[in-house]
Amino acid sequence: MSVKSCRGALARSFRDLQMVWSQTESAWRDVKAREFKERYIAPLPDALNSASSIIEELDIVLNKIRRDCE
C-alpha cells in the first residue's frame, strides 16, 4: 500500500466514523455522550489534518529515497 493510498484510507475511515457517530449521537444523548464527543470525536479533524501533513512529508522523503536508489 502506498503512502498516498494510506492517507486516502485514513480519510475514508474518518468519513465512515462521522456517519456512524452521527447515527449514534441521535440516540445517545446524555452527559457521557457529550463527554465522549468532546474527548474523542471533536479532536479528530485536527489530528487528521496533522496526520495528513505528516503523510505528505513522508511521501516526499520516500520518493526522494527511491530516486536516489535508482
39 in a structural domain: yes
Band of pLDDT at residue 6, cut at 50, 70 and 90: confident
> How many distinct structural domains can be found in the chain?
1
Instruction: With respect to residue 48, please indicate whether it lies within any of the assigned structural domains.
Output: yes
- On whether residue 56 sits in a domain, the answer given is yes
Structure confidence at residue 4 as a pLDDT band (50, 70, 90): confident
pLDDT in tens, 13-42: 999 999 999 999 999 999 999 999 999 999
For 56, the domain range is 3-14+29-69
DSSP one-letter code for 30: S
What is the mean pLDDT of the segment spanning 1-7?
80
Phi and psi at residue 37, to the nearest 5°: -60, -45
Q: How many CB atoms lie within 10 A of CB 43?
A: 10
Angle between helices 44-69 and 3-27 (to 10 degrees): 170
**23 found inside a domain:** no
pTM given for the model = 0.77
**51-66: per-residue pLDDT in tens?**
999 999 999 999 999 9
